[in-house]
Structure 1
Amino acid sequence: MEIITLPVTAFAQNCRIVICKKTRKATVVDPGGDADKIITELAKYDLTPDCILLTHGHLDHVGAAKILADHFSIDIVGPHKDELFWFDALPMQAQMFGFKPVTPFTPTHWLSGGDIFSVGELRFEIRHCPGHTPGHIVFYEPTHGVVFVGDVIFKGSVGRTDFPKGDAQQLLESIKKHILTLPEETRILSGHGPDTKVVTERISNPFISGKFG
Protein backbone atom coordinates (compact mmCIF):
# COMPACT_ATOMS: atom_id res chain seq x y z
CA MET A 1 0.00 0.00 0.00
CA GLU A 2 1.16 3.50 -0.84
CA ILE A 3 -0.52 6.54 0.72
CA ILE A 4 -0.24 10.11 -0.51
CA THR A 5 -1.56 12.68 1.94
CA LEU A 6 -2.82 15.89 0.39
CA PRO A 7 -4.14 18.57 2.78
CA VAL A 8 -7.04 20.42 1.14
CA THR A 9 -9.27 23.42 1.92
CA ALA A 10 -8.75 26.05 4.58
CA PHE A 11 -9.50 23.31 7.14
CA ALA A 12 -6.31 21.42 6.13
CA GLN A 13 -8.31 18.23 5.70
CA ASN A 14 -6.17 15.17 4.98
CA CYS A 15 -7.33 13.87 1.62
CA ARG A 16 -5.60 10.53 1.01
CA ILE A 17 -4.73 8.89 -2.29
CA VAL A 18 -4.39 5.18 -1.51
CA ILE A 19 -2.67 2.87 -3.99
CA CYS A 20 -2.44 -0.91 -4.19
CA LYS A 21 1.23 -1.49 -5.02
CA LYS A 22 0.62 -4.78 -6.83
CA THR A 23 -2.18 -3.67 -9.14
CA ARG A 24 -1.67 0.15 -9.18
CA LYS A 25 -5.38 0.51 -8.56
CA ALA A 26 -6.13 3.57 -6.45
CA THR A 27 -8.85 5.30 -4.51
CA VAL A 28 -9.26 8.80 -3.09
CA VAL A 29 -10.40 8.93 0.54
CA ASP A 30 -12.29 12.04 1.68
CA PRO A 31 -11.59 14.57 -1.10
CA GLY A 32 -12.79 17.61 0.84
CA GLY A 33 -12.07 20.23 -1.80
CA ASP A 34 -9.43 21.62 -4.17
CA ALA A 35 -10.39 19.18 -6.93
CA ASP A 36 -7.79 20.59 -9.36
CA LYS A 37 -5.04 19.99 -6.79
CA ILE A 38 -6.14 16.36 -6.36
CA ILE A 39 -6.39 15.75 -10.11
CA THR A 40 -2.90 17.22 -10.61
CA GLU A 41 -1.48 14.97 -7.89
CA LEU A 42 -3.08 11.88 -9.45
CA ALA A 43 -1.66 12.82 -12.87
CA LYS A 44 1.79 13.29 -11.34
CA TYR A 45 1.81 9.59 -10.43
CA ASP A 46 -0.05 8.49 -13.59
CA LEU A 47 -3.01 7.29 -11.52
CA THR A 48 -6.68 6.98 -12.42
CA PRO A 49 -8.72 6.23 -9.31
CA ASP A 50 -11.20 3.35 -9.29
CA CYS A 51 -13.54 5.06 -6.82
CA ILE A 52 -13.91 7.65 -4.09
CA LEU A 53 -14.34 6.54 -0.48
CA LEU A 54 -16.06 8.79 2.07
CA THR A 55 -15.98 8.48 5.86
CA HIS A 56 -18.82 10.95 6.51
CA GLY A 57 -20.80 13.77 4.96
CA HIS A 58 -19.21 16.95 6.28
CA LEU A 59 -18.36 19.31 3.46
CA ASP A 60 -14.64 19.53 4.24
CA HIS A 61 -14.48 15.76 3.55
CA VAL A 62 -16.76 15.52 0.50
CA GLY A 63 -16.51 18.90 -1.24
CA ALA A 64 -14.60 17.63 -4.30
CA ALA A 65 -16.17 14.16 -4.47
CA LYS A 66 -18.76 14.85 -7.18
CA ILE A 67 -16.28 16.80 -9.33
CA LEU A 68 -13.78 13.92 -9.18
CA ALA A 69 -16.48 11.30 -9.77
CA ASP A 70 -17.66 13.12 -12.89
CA HIS A 71 -14.12 13.79 -14.11
CA PHE A 72 -13.03 10.13 -13.86
CA SER A 73 -16.49 8.51 -14.34
CA ILE A 74 -16.16 6.61 -11.06
CA ASP A 75 -18.41 5.77 -8.12
CA ILE A 76 -18.65 7.53 -4.77
CA VAL A 77 -18.71 4.83 -2.07
CA GLY A 78 -19.75 5.35 1.55
CA PRO A 79 -20.46 6.44 4.15
CA HIS A 80 -23.38 4.81 6.02
CA LYS A 81 -26.91 5.72 4.90
CA ASP A 82 -27.57 7.54 8.20
CA GLU A 83 -25.41 10.31 6.74
CA LEU A 84 -27.92 11.18 4.01
CA PHE A 85 -29.16 14.32 5.79
CA TRP A 86 -25.66 15.83 5.65
CA PHE A 87 -25.52 15.30 1.87
CA ASP A 88 -28.96 16.88 1.48
CA ALA A 89 -27.68 19.82 3.54
CA LEU A 90 -24.53 20.48 1.48
CA PRO A 91 -25.71 23.97 0.37
CA MET A 92 -26.34 24.89 4.04
CA GLN A 93 -22.93 23.49 4.98
CA ALA A 94 -21.28 25.64 2.31
CA GLN A 95 -22.85 28.74 3.83
CA MET A 96 -22.04 27.66 7.38
CA PHE A 97 -18.35 26.91 6.69
CA GLY A 98 -17.69 29.69 4.16
CA PHE A 99 -17.24 27.40 1.13
CA LYS A 100 -18.32 28.16 -2.42
CA PRO A 101 -21.88 26.99 -3.23
CA VAL A 102 -22.17 23.21 -3.53
CA THR A 103 -24.90 21.20 -5.24
CA PRO A 104 -26.27 18.28 -3.19
CA PHE A 105 -25.37 14.80 -4.37
CA THR A 106 -25.87 11.27 -3.11
CA PRO A 107 -23.14 8.60 -2.96
CA THR A 108 -23.40 5.83 -5.52
CA HIS A 109 -23.24 3.16 -2.81
CA TRP A 110 -23.79 3.29 0.95
CA LEU A 111 -21.71 1.06 3.24
CA SER A 112 -22.56 -0.68 6.52
CA GLY A 113 -20.51 -1.97 9.42
CA GLY A 114 -19.14 -5.41 8.59
CA ASP A 115 -18.91 -4.78 4.85
CA ILE A 116 -15.67 -5.46 2.98
CA PHE A 117 -14.66 -3.16 0.14
CA SER A 118 -11.71 -3.95 -2.12
CA VAL A 119 -9.40 -1.75 -4.16
CA GLY A 120 -7.00 -3.96 -6.06
CA GLU A 121 -5.68 -6.37 -3.43
CA LEU A 122 -6.44 -3.99 -0.56
CA ARG A 123 -9.39 -5.15 1.53
CA PHE A 124 -11.03 -2.51 3.70
CA GLU A 125 -13.13 -3.65 6.63
CA ILE A 126 -15.94 -1.17 7.24
CA ARG A 127 -16.65 -0.16 10.82
CA HIS A 128 -19.64 2.03 11.63
CA CYS A 129 -18.48 4.62 14.19
CA PRO A 130 -21.31 7.07 14.99
CA GLY A 131 -20.88 9.98 17.37
CA HIS A 132 -19.18 12.74 15.37
CA THR A 133 -21.96 12.14 12.85
CA PRO A 134 -24.52 9.30 12.85
CA GLY A 135 -23.37 7.66 9.63
CA HIS A 136 -19.61 7.97 10.11
CA ILE A 137 -17.57 4.93 9.04
CA VAL A 138 -13.88 4.04 9.15
CA PHE A 139 -11.86 1.97 6.68
CA TYR A 140 -9.54 -0.62 8.27
CA GLU A 141 -6.98 -2.46 6.14
CA PRO A 142 -5.63 -5.24 8.39
CA THR A 143 -2.89 -6.55 6.09
CA HIS A 144 -1.11 -3.19 6.20
CA GLY A 145 -2.23 -2.21 9.70
CA VAL A 146 -3.86 1.07 8.72
CA VAL A 147 -7.22 2.60 9.59
CA PHE A 148 -8.65 5.72 7.93
CA VAL A 149 -10.77 7.29 10.66
CA GLY A 150 -12.05 10.59 9.27
CA ASP A 151 -13.00 12.74 12.26
CA VAL A 152 -13.62 9.99 14.83
CA ILE A 153 -10.28 10.33 16.62
CA PHE A 154 -7.15 12.48 16.29
CA LYS A 155 -3.72 12.48 17.86
CA GLY A 156 -4.52 13.47 21.44
CA SER A 157 -8.13 14.38 20.69
CA VAL A 158 -11.49 13.18 19.39
CA GLY A 159 -14.09 14.44 16.94
CA ARG A 160 -16.50 17.25 17.70
CA THR A 161 -20.01 16.30 18.75
CA ASP A 162 -21.70 19.71 18.77
CA PHE A 163 -23.04 19.43 15.21
CA PRO A 164 -26.59 18.16 14.51
CA LYS A 165 -27.05 14.54 15.61
CA GLY A 166 -23.63 14.41 17.25
CA ASP A 167 -23.37 12.37 20.45
CA ALA A 168 -20.31 12.51 22.73
CA GLN A 169 -21.05 9.30 24.61
CA GLN A 170 -21.72 7.43 21.39
CA LEU A 171 -18.44 8.71 19.94
CA LEU A 172 -16.42 7.40 22.88
CA GLU A 173 -18.20 4.06 22.65
CA SER A 174 -17.37 3.88 18.94
CA ILE A 175 -13.71 4.64 19.62
CA LYS A 176 -13.42 2.07 22.38
CA LYS A 177 -15.23 -0.63 20.41
CA HIS A 178 -13.91 -0.11 16.89
CA ILE A 179 -10.56 1.72 17.16
CA LEU A 180 -8.89 0.81 20.45
CA THR A 181 -9.58 -2.90 19.90
CA LEU A 182 -7.39 -2.91 16.77
CA PRO A 183 -3.79 -4.19 17.06
CA GLU A 184 -1.84 -1.61 19.01
CA GLU A 185 0.63 -0.83 16.22
CA THR A 186 -2.21 -0.01 13.80
CA ARG A 187 -1.62 3.40 12.22
CA ILE A 188 -4.50 5.83 12.69
CA LEU A 189 -4.83 8.20 9.72
CA SER A 190 -7.10 11.04 10.81
CA GLY A 191 -8.96 13.61 8.77
CA HIS A 192 -6.94 16.46 10.27
CA GLY A 193 -3.52 16.68 11.86
CA PRO A 194 -0.72 14.13 12.21
CA ASP A 195 -0.99 10.35 12.08
CA THR A 196 -0.86 8.35 15.29
CA LYS A 197 -1.13 4.76 16.53
CA VAL A 198 -3.71 2.81 18.51
CA VAL A 199 -1.28 2.19 21.38
CA THR A 200 -0.44 5.90 21.62
CA GLU A 201 -4.07 6.97 21.87
CA ARG A 202 -4.97 4.16 24.25
CA ILE A 203 -2.28 5.34 26.67
CA SER A 204 -2.21 9.11 26.27
CA ASN A 205 -5.42 10.45 24.69
CA PRO A 206 -6.97 12.51 27.53
CA PHE A 207 -10.51 12.21 26.19
CA ILE A 208 -10.31 8.44 26.28
CA SER A 209 -8.67 8.29 29.71
CA GLY A 210 -11.44 10.48 31.12
CA LYS A 211 -9.19 13.43 31.93
CA PHE A 212 -11.22 15.56 29.49
CA GLY A 213 -14.82 15.13 28.35
Structure 2
Amino acid sequence: MALQFEIMAVTPFRQNCTLLWDDGSGEAVLTDVGGDVPHLLAQVKAKGLQVKAVWLTHGHLDHAGGVVEFVSHCDVPVLGPHCEDEFLLQSLPEVTAQYGFPVSPAFEPTRWLEEGETLSVGNYAFQVLHIPGHTPGHVVFYCAQAELLIAGDVLFYETIGRTDFPRGNHEDLIGNIRSKLLVLPPQTRVIAGHGRMTTIGHERQFNPFLQF
Protein backbone atom coordinates (compact mmCIF):
# COMPACT_ATOMS: atom_id res chain seq x y z
CA MET A 1 0.00 0.00 0.00
CA ALA A 2 1.23 3.49 -0.80
CA LEU A 3 0.33 7.13 -1.20
CA GLN A 4 -0.97 7.63 -4.72
CA PHE A 5 -1.63 10.79 -6.68
CA GLU A 6 -3.17 11.94 -9.92
CA ILE A 7 -2.51 15.40 -11.34
CA MET A 8 -5.43 16.95 -13.20
CA ALA A 9 -4.91 20.19 -15.14
CA VAL A 10 -7.98 22.39 -14.67
CA THR A 11 -9.21 25.80 -15.87
CA PRO A 12 -7.94 27.63 -18.98
CA PHE A 13 -4.75 28.30 -16.99
CA ARG A 14 -4.03 24.52 -16.82
CA GLN A 15 -3.55 24.58 -13.06
CA ASN A 16 -2.51 21.29 -11.46
CA CYS A 17 -5.21 20.09 -9.09
CA THR A 18 -3.84 16.99 -7.34
CA LEU A 19 -5.89 14.07 -6.07
CA LEU A 20 -3.94 12.40 -3.24
CA TRP A 21 -5.06 9.13 -1.71
CA ASP A 22 -3.91 6.39 0.63
CA ASP A 23 -4.27 2.99 -1.04
CA GLY A 24 -4.82 1.29 2.29
CA SER A 25 -7.72 3.38 3.58
CA GLY A 26 -9.16 4.86 0.39
CA GLU A 27 -9.00 8.24 2.10
CA ALA A 28 -8.31 11.15 -0.26
CA VAL A 29 -7.85 14.90 -0.47
CA LEU A 30 -7.90 17.33 -3.38
CA THR A 31 -5.42 20.19 -3.53
CA ASP A 32 -6.17 23.50 -5.29
CA VAL A 33 -9.67 22.94 -6.68
CA GLY A 34 -9.50 25.72 -9.25
CA GLY A 35 -12.36 24.62 -11.49
CA ASP A 36 -13.69 21.88 -13.79
CA VAL A 37 -15.52 20.44 -10.79
CA PRO A 38 -17.65 17.85 -12.68
CA HIS A 39 -14.45 16.27 -14.01
CA LEU A 40 -12.90 16.17 -10.55
CA LEU A 41 -16.01 14.60 -9.03
CA ALA A 42 -16.06 11.97 -11.80
CA GLN A 43 -12.42 11.05 -11.20
CA VAL A 44 -13.00 10.65 -7.47
CA LYS A 45 -16.07 8.48 -8.08
CA ALA A 46 -14.31 6.32 -10.69
CA LYS A 47 -11.58 5.49 -8.19
CA GLY A 48 -14.02 4.75 -5.38
CA LEU A 49 -12.34 7.23 -3.06
CA GLN A 50 -13.63 9.14 -0.04
CA VAL A 51 -12.52 12.78 -0.20
CA LYS A 52 -12.03 14.05 3.35
CA ALA A 53 -10.82 17.62 2.66
CA VAL A 54 -9.74 20.25 0.17
CA TRP A 55 -6.29 21.75 0.74
CA LEU A 56 -5.41 25.14 -0.74
CA THR A 57 -1.89 26.43 -1.33
CA HIS A 58 -3.04 30.01 -2.06
CA GLY A 59 -5.95 32.19 -3.07
CA HIS A 60 -5.50 32.83 -6.80
CA LEU A 61 -8.55 32.14 -8.95
CA ASP A 62 -7.08 29.18 -10.86
CA HIS A 63 -6.32 27.43 -7.55
CA ALA A 64 -9.41 28.37 -5.51
CA GLY A 65 -12.12 29.29 -8.03
CA GLY A 66 -13.88 25.90 -7.96
CA VAL A 67 -13.94 25.39 -4.20
CA VAL A 68 -17.44 26.70 -3.47
CA GLU A 69 -18.92 24.59 -6.28
CA PHE A 70 -17.03 21.50 -5.14
CA VAL A 71 -18.11 21.69 -1.51
CA SER A 72 -21.72 22.16 -2.65
CA HIS A 73 -21.46 18.61 -4.02
CA CYS A 74 -19.06 17.16 -1.47
CA ASP A 75 -19.39 18.63 2.03
CA VAL A 76 -15.80 18.56 3.27
CA PRO A 77 -13.61 21.04 5.16
CA VAL A 78 -11.42 23.47 3.24
CA LEU A 79 -7.96 23.80 4.80
CA GLY A 80 -5.64 26.66 3.90
CA PRO A 81 -4.14 28.82 2.75
CA HIS A 82 -2.54 31.09 5.39
CA CYS A 83 -4.78 33.97 6.48
CA GLU A 84 -2.60 36.52 4.64
CA ASP A 85 -4.38 35.39 1.45
CA GLU A 86 -7.82 36.33 2.75
CA PHE A 87 -7.93 39.38 0.43
CA LEU A 88 -7.58 37.07 -2.58
CA LEU A 89 -10.44 34.78 -1.54
CA GLN A 90 -12.63 37.83 -0.90
CA SER A 91 -11.87 39.19 -4.39
CA LEU A 92 -12.81 35.97 -6.23
CA PRO A 93 -16.18 37.23 -7.57
CA GLU A 94 -14.57 40.17 -9.35
CA VAL A 95 -11.43 38.36 -10.50
CA THR A 96 -13.17 35.25 -11.84
CA ALA A 97 -15.58 37.47 -13.80
CA GLN A 98 -12.71 39.58 -15.11
CA TYR A 99 -10.89 36.54 -16.52
CA GLY A 100 -14.02 34.91 -17.93
CA PHE A 101 -14.02 32.05 -15.42
CA PRO A 102 -17.27 30.77 -13.87
CA VAL A 103 -17.93 33.33 -11.18
CA SER A 104 -16.91 32.11 -7.73
CA PRO A 105 -18.41 33.54 -4.57
CA ALA A 106 -16.02 34.82 -1.95
CA PHE A 107 -15.42 32.35 0.85
CA GLU A 108 -13.36 31.67 3.93
CA PRO A 109 -11.76 28.28 4.44
CA THR A 110 -12.89 26.06 7.26
CA ARG A 111 -9.46 26.72 8.78
CA TRP A 112 -6.53 28.92 7.89
CA LEU A 113 -3.20 27.11 8.07
CA GLU A 114 -0.01 28.02 9.90
CA GLU A 115 3.61 27.01 9.49
CA GLY A 116 4.36 23.71 11.22
CA GLU A 117 0.85 22.26 11.25
CA THR A 118 0.44 18.64 10.15
CA LEU A 119 -2.31 17.37 7.84
CA SER A 120 -2.94 13.76 6.94
CA VAL A 121 -4.18 11.54 4.14
CA GLY A 122 -4.80 8.13 5.62
CA ASN A 123 -1.51 7.08 7.18
CA TYR A 124 0.55 9.80 5.47
CA ALA A 125 1.42 13.04 7.27
CA PHE A 126 2.04 16.32 5.43
CA GLN A 127 3.87 19.22 7.03
CA VAL A 128 2.56 22.71 6.28
CA LEU A 129 5.24 25.24 5.31
CA HIS A 130 4.42 28.94 4.86
CA ILE A 131 6.22 30.21 1.73
CA PRO A 132 5.20 33.85 1.09
CA GLY A 133 6.41 35.63 -2.02
CA HIS A 134 4.09 34.61 -4.87
CA THR A 135 1.26 35.54 -2.53
CA PRO A 136 1.63 36.54 1.14
CA GLY A 137 -0.35 33.54 2.41
CA HIS A 138 1.05 30.79 0.19
CA VAL A 139 1.60 27.42 1.88
CA VAL A 140 3.00 24.12 0.59
CA PHE A 141 2.49 20.54 1.77
CA TYR A 142 5.44 18.21 2.35
CA CYS A 143 5.24 14.47 3.04
CA ALA A 144 8.63 13.11 4.15
CA GLN A 145 7.35 9.53 4.18
CA ALA A 146 6.33 9.68 0.51
CA GLU A 147 9.12 12.12 -0.50
CA LEU A 148 6.52 14.40 -2.07
CA LEU A 149 5.99 18.18 -2.08
CA ILE A 150 2.81 19.92 -3.23
CA ALA A 151 4.39 23.25 -4.16
CA GLY A 152 1.58 25.33 -5.66
CA ASP A 153 2.98 28.35 -7.51
CA VAL A 154 6.20 28.63 -5.48
CA LEU A 155 8.55 26.32 -7.35
CA PHE A 156 8.37 25.01 -10.92
CA TYR A 157 10.62 23.03 -13.24
CA GLU A 158 13.67 25.32 -13.58
CA THR A 159 11.76 28.45 -12.60
CA ILE A 160 9.85 30.04 -9.72
CA GLY A 161 6.49 31.69 -9.15
CA ARG A 162 5.70 35.17 -10.38
CA THR A 163 6.01 37.97 -7.85
CA ASP A 164 4.42 40.82 -9.80
CA PHE A 165 0.94 40.21 -8.37
CA PRO A 166 -0.50 42.28 -5.50
CA ARG A 167 1.58 41.77 -2.34
CA GLY A 168 4.10 39.59 -4.15
CA ASN A 169 7.73 39.83 -3.06
CA HIS A 170 10.62 38.38 -5.05
CA GLU A 171 13.18 38.50 -2.22
CA ASP A 172 10.78 36.77 0.17
CA LEU A 173 10.07 34.04 -2.36
CA ILE A 174 13.73 33.31 -3.06
CA GLY A 175 14.61 33.39 0.63
CA ASN A 176 11.80 31.03 1.61
CA ILE A 177 12.57 28.56 -1.18
CA ARG A 178 16.23 28.45 -0.19
CA SER A 179 15.66 28.16 3.55
CA LYS A 180 12.64 25.82 3.59
CA LEU A 181 12.50 23.86 0.33
CA LEU A 182 16.04 23.42 -1.00
CA VAL A 183 16.97 21.88 2.37
CA LEU A 184 14.59 18.97 1.72
CA PRO A 185 16.07 15.66 0.49
CA PRO A 186 17.16 15.92 -3.15
CA GLN A 187 14.99 12.99 -4.23
CA THR A 188 11.83 14.81 -3.07
CA ARG A 189 9.35 14.90 -5.95
CA VAL A 190 7.73 18.28 -6.56
CA ILE A 191 4.20 18.70 -7.92
CA ALA A 192 4.12 22.28 -9.18
CA GLY A 193 1.03 24.37 -9.67
CA HIS A 194 1.46 24.29 -13.46
CA GLY A 195 3.42 22.13 -15.85
CA ARG A 196 5.64 19.13 -15.28
CA MET A 197 6.95 17.64 -12.05
CA THR A 198 10.51 18.13 -10.88
CA THR A 199 12.67 17.22 -7.88
CA ILE A 200 14.40 19.28 -5.22
CA GLY A 201 17.77 17.97 -6.41
CA HIS A 202 17.12 19.05 -9.98
CA GLU A 203 16.11 22.55 -8.91
CA ARG A 204 19.15 22.92 -6.66
CA GLN A 205 21.37 22.17 -9.62
CA PHE A 206 19.60 23.69 -12.61
CA ASN A 207 17.13 26.38 -11.49
CA PRO A 208 18.71 29.67 -12.61
CA PHE A 209 16.78 31.67 -9.99
CA LEU A 210 18.22 29.65 -7.11
CA GLN A 211 21.93 29.60 -7.83
CA PHE A 212 24.11 31.20 -5.15
Q: TM-score range by the shorter chain?
A: over 0.9
Decide which of 78, 85, 88 is 1:86's aligned counterpart: 88
Q: Secondary structure at the match of 2:50?
A: coil
Per the alignment, residue 168 of structure 1 pairs with 170
Runs of at least 4 residues off by over 3 Å: none
Cα distance per residue 1:128-185 (max 9 Å; x no partner): 0000000000000000000000000100110000110000000001110111010010
Higher mean alpha-carbon deviation, 184-193 vs 117-126, is at: 117-126
**Does 2:142 correspond to 1:155?**
no
The amino acid of 1:190's aligned partner reads A
In the TM superposition, residue 66 of structure 1 has moved relative to its aligned partner by: 1.6
Q: Is the 8 A contact 1:153 1:159 kept in 2?
A: yes
| 1:38 aligned residue (37, 40, 49) | 40
**Secondary structure at the residue paired with 1:44?**
helix
State whether residues 34 and 67 of structure 2, in contact with CA within 8 Å, keep that contact through their aligned partners in structure 1.
Answer: yes
Secondary structure of the residue that 2:149 maps to in structure 1?
strand
CA distance in 2, matches of 1:122, 1:97: 36
What secondary structure does 2:175 align onto?
helix
Deviation at 1:102, TM superposition (A): 1.6
**Shift of residue 68 of structure 1?**
1.5
> Which amino acid in 1 is paired with 2:62?
D
Gap runs ≥5 in structure 2 = none
Verify the 8 A CA contact 1:54 1:79 in the aligned structure 2: yes
1:99 counterpart residue number = 101
Aligned-residue offset at 1:95: 3.2
Q: CA RMSD in A?
A: 1.0
Structure 1: which 5+ runs fail to align?
Answer: none
Quote the offset at 1:201 in angstroms: 0.3
Aligned-residue offset at 1:24: 1.0
TM-score normalized by the length of structure 1: 0.96
Q: Offset at 1:120?
A: 1.2
In structure 1, C-alpha distance between the alignment counterparts of 2:43 and 2:66, rounded to whole Å: 14
Deviation at 1:48, TM superposition (A): 2.5
Give the CA deviation at 1:110.
Answer: 0.7
Residue 185 of structure 1 pairs with residue 187 of structure 2 = yes
2: CA distance, partners of 1:21 / 1:46: 11
The residue type equivalent to 1:18 in the other structure is L
TM-score (norm 2): 0.96
Q: Which residue of 2 aligns with 1:117?
A: 119
Offset, 1:22: 1.6
Shift of 1:73: 1.0
> For residues 199 and 13 of structure 1, what CA distance do their matches in structure 2 show?
23
Q: Is the 8 A contact 2:96 2:103 kept in 1?
A: yes
Q: Give runs of aligned pairs for residues 188-199 of structure 1, distance below 5 A.
A: 188-199=190-201
State how 1:21-32 maps to structure 2 within 5 Å: 21-32=23-34
CA distance in 2, matches of 1:97, 1:177: 34
> Match for 2:86: what amino acid?
L
Does residue 1:13 correspond to 2:15, yes or no? Answer: yes
DSSP-derived class of the 1:50 partner: strand
